Structure 1
Amino acid sequence: MPPKGSKKRSKPDSVTSSATDPVSSASSKKTSSKEMDGTDQLFAMYANTSSGVIDPEGIEKLCASLKVPHTDIRILMLAWRMKAERQGYFTKAEWRIGLKALKVDTITKLKKALPELEKEVRKPLNFVDFYAYAFKYCLTEEKQKFLDIETICQLLDMVLGSTFRAQVDYFVDYLKIQKDYKSIHMDQWMGFYRFCNEISFPDMTNYNLELAWPSILDDFFEWLREKQA
């Protein structure tokens, strides 16, 4: 206890911080800086020197390094993790976001991270977000809100094929032969995912035409019921 009338002298901030913070802080900054340098160096390997972004050609090179086809769903998952806004292009900012989230800074680490990324995306809550992102990522024109049937069929096969094979196959068959719909919008896209999760298949005994399903799914239901008759 300090003498009466005297004031307890606090240690200067510099004393406390010099005893502990500088070493750990400097080490942390050094590690962070090293990771960022590695991330940026990796980005430079695939980026177009003129545009300063990784373009479709750069993504092809990236896929070759990762030894996966550019149609591999994990490349789309990588774009989702980067929050990439433009199909076929990764900006440096998006690249940093994605690789920081994955905690990787080399191509070897990135390759090893892909299986874990897929596990993360496959979690129900994440997958709903990813499924919606897949549709938006394919909207390549400004103010575009629809995707043509051919693109939808390819996207469904990539995104849902491994989980809901039968539903996707039948729906794709229907989309290819029907004449009423030239394109699909987001509500219809999300509606099909809900259909896959909620409707027993292939009997569809719990599908109710009076409920608020997109009309394309009502038509699909009628077409499939006739096909099964």
Structure 2
Amino acid sequence: MEVAGCSAGIFLMEEWRKGLKSMRVDSLDKLRKALPSLQQEMVSPYNFKDFYTFSFKYCLTEPRQKTLDLETACQMLSLVLGSRPHVASFLRFLQEQSEYKAMNLDQWSAFLRFCDEIKPDLRNYDESQAWPLLLDNYVEWAKKGMVTKS
């Protein structure tokens, strides 16, 4: 179901109807029956990436807002990414550091790619690749923590 142009907590009736129509849903019973396939559709990598981007944009509350405050970003990352590798430690990093106050869409998108591509022990992280500085700083922080635990 595609829902475009909505704000946090707000779905316009026109958008809702357009989404239901695209799913060929015209009753609560059909919606109930469609939900399992919709959930299944969301876990495919292609669709999940769209949902992940949507979840960032959904939390933007002002017309020209480009970033999410870290509290909101952390809550959404936890909600949307759950127990994927790096999520828990990245959230700890965001809470402990003091340099960043907000997260932009580039950082948000790169973190999903980071979770998908970088091994939990970070051994395949290549700092010469074009990762946002936020992720470079996270890796540096995480590696220090790994050394301390050893």
Asked if Structure 1 and Structure 2 have the same fold, meaning a TM-score greater than 0.5 normalized by the shorter chain, the answer is yes
Select which of 97, 107, 110 maps to 2:31: 110
The structure with higher relative contact order (CA 8 Å, sep 6+) is 2
Give the drift of 1:102.
1.9
Structure 1 residues 48-89: Cα deviation after superposition (integer angstroms, max 9, x where no partner): xxxxxxxxxxxxxxxxxxxxxxxxxxxxxx6xx232422211
Match of 1:169 in 2: 88
Structure-2 separation of matches of 1:205 and 1:198: 11
Q: State the distance in 2 between where 1:218 and 1:157 align.
A: 20
Q: Report how many aligned residue pairs link the two structures.
A: 147
Matched, 1:132 2:50: no
1:153 alignment partner AA: C
> What is the TM-score with the length of structure 2 in the denominator?
0.92
* Structure of larger gyration radius: 1
Q: Distance in 1 between matches of 2:5 and 2:21?
A: 14
The partner residue of 1:191 within 96, 110, 119 is: 110
Q: Cα offset for 1:112?
A: 2.5
Helix, strand or coil: the match of 1:196?
A: helix
Query: One-letter code of the match for 1:223?
Result: W
**Superposition RMSD in Å:** 1.3
Q: Shift of residue 130 of structure 1?
A: 1.2
Counterpart of 2:97?
A: 178
Q: Distance in 1 between matches of 2:74 and 2:8?
A: 17
Partner SS for 2:86: helix
**Unaligned residue ranges in structure 1 (runs of 5+):** 1-77
SS in 2 for 1:171: helix
User: CA–CA distance in 1 between the matches of 2:12 and 2:71?
Assistant: 28
Give the aligned partner of residue 8 of structure 1.
none
Q: Which amino acid aligns with 2:139?
A: F
Residue from 134, 138, 148 that aligns with 1:216 = 134
Matched position secondary structure for 2:103: strand
Return closer, same or farther for 1:120/1:90 CA change in 2, 3 Å cut-off: same
Contact 1:153–1:172 (CA under 8 A) maintained in structure 2 = yes
Runs of 4+ aligned residues of structure 1 deviating over 3 Å after TM superposition are: none
Is residue 127 of structure 2 the alignment partner of residue 206 of structure 1? no
What CA deviation, in whole Å up to 9, does each residue of 1:164-203 have, x standing for no partner?
Answer: 1x411111111111101000000100110110111111x1
Partner of 1:51: none
TM-score (norm 1): 0.61
Query: 1:130, 1:168 → 2: CA distance?
Result: 17
